């Protein structure tokens, strides 16, 4: 039986989450907290009590956007403890999945919460609690994949399938041969993370995978590349570096 804490600053959302968790037979006890500060006090009691103590917690169901200390901030604090409770994010915003799984989240549930979807998150938490590797998340961050949210379901996009990435403000749009996905992560971060995997900046708005470049085109002093059936302009500052990289690859 799991001992759970639900955290949400919106009272109706918190009451609904508490109701759904109480109805799950795998939840032995569940408490509620109206903000991350209150939750942190409760978690501190659990950590002081120890994993087998009377105030122990197994899993925290955590909203993300809250006033003051938000859910991501609280999850970051928990990573500093030796034996923190498991974390399941429950949020109306699908844009934080990358950060959530980087913080070792067990699951990422979108609002409005469906009973079946929450039950799956509880199942994952229970499975982890009952295994020797109870603090290893179901979705261990994989350098070969990137989690994206589609219709309330977390899917994983293989980095090797990404043809190019387009900057859209604080977001980045990942393009593959089967469509595109918007993630809340700056293009500069992906450029640094994927440089060794053959991704190169060709423009302030575009990052491309060298393996997916089909053609390099020169026309009246302008340079462009054909990537995944789309023609992308190459800025002057990046043109020479791109040509050199393509020559070395051939």
Strands 199-203 and 206-209, by their bridges, are: antiparallel
Residue bearing tokens 């903000």 = 35
The 10s digit of each residue's pLDDT in 66-90 is: 988 889 989 988 887 778 899 999 9
Global confidence as pTM:
0.57
| pLDDT value at 133 more than 80 | no
DSSP per residue over the chain, as a string? -EEEEEE-SSHHHHHHHHHHHHTSTTEEEEEEESSHHHHHHHHHHHHHH-TTSTT--SEEEE-S--SSS-HHHHHHHHTTSSSPPEEEEEES-GGGHHHHHHTT-SEEEESSPPHHHHHHHHHHHHHHHTSTTTTS-TT---TTEEEEEETTEEEEEEGGGEEEEEEETTEEEEEETTEEEEESS-HHHHHHHHGGGTEEEEETTEEEEGGGEEEEEEETTEEEEEETTEEEEE-HHHHHHHHHHHHHH-
Neighbours of 50 (CB within 10 A): 11
- Among residues 27, 15, 76, 83, the alpha carbon closest in space to that of 53 is found at 83
Copy the structure tokens of residue 53. 């103590």
90 Cβ contact list (under 8 Å, min separation 6):
6, 8, 17, 61, 62, 63, 109, 111, 113, 118
φ, ψ for residue 92, nearest 5 deg: -85, -5
- Determine the pLDDT at residue 138: 40
pLDDT band at 172 (very low <50, low <70, confident <90, very high): confident
- Determine the pLDDT at residue 120: 93
| pLDDT value at 168 more than 90 | no
| pLDDT value at 135 more than 80 | no
| pLDDT value at 115 more than 50 | yes
pLDDT band at 150 (very low <50, low <70, confident <90, very high): low
- Determine the pLDDT at residue 134: 43
| pLDDT value at 148 more than 80 | no
Mean pLDDT taken over the chain: 86
Residues found in the chain: 250
Copy the structure tokens of residue 173. 């749009």
The 10s digit of each residue's pLDDT in 189-224 is: 899 889 889 999 999 999 999 999 999 888 888 899
- Determine the pLDDT at residue 5: 97
The 10s digit of each residue's pLDDT in 97-112 is: 878 888 889 999 999 9
28-to-33, 41, 56, 58, 97 alpha-carbon distances in Å? 17, 21, 12, 10, 28
């Amino acid at each position: 039986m799991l001992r759970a804490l639900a955290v949400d600053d919106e009272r109706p959302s918190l009451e609904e989450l508490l109701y759904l968790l109480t109805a799950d037979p795998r939840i032995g006890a569940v408490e509620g907290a109206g903000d991350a500060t209150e939750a942190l006090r409760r978690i501190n009691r659990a950590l002081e009590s120890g994993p087998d103590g009377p105030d122990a917690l197994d899993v925290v169901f955590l909203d993300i956007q809250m006033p003051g200390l938000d859910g991501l901030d609280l999850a970051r604090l928990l990573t500093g403890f030796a034996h923190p409770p498991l974390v399941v994010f429950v949020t109306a915003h699908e844009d934080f999945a990358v950060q959530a799984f980087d913080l070792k989240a067990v699951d990422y549930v979108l609002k409005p919460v469906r009973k079946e979807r929450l039950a799956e998150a509880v199942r994952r938490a229970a499975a982890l609690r009952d295994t020797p590797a109870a603090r290893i998340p179901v979705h261990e961050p994989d350098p070969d994949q990137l989690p994206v949210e589609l219709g309330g379901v977390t899917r994983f996009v293989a980095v090797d399938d990404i043809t190019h990435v387009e900057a859209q403000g604080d977001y980045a749009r990942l393009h593959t041969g089967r469509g595109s996905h918007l993630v809340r992560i700056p293009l500069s971060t992906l450029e640094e993370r994927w440089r060794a995997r053959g991704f190169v900046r060709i423009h302030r708005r575009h990052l491309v995978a060298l393996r997916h470049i089909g053609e390099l085109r020169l026309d009246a002093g302008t340079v462009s590349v054909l990537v995944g059936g789309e023609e992308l302009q190459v800025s002057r500052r990046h043109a020479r570096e791109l040509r050199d990289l393509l020559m070395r690859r051939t």
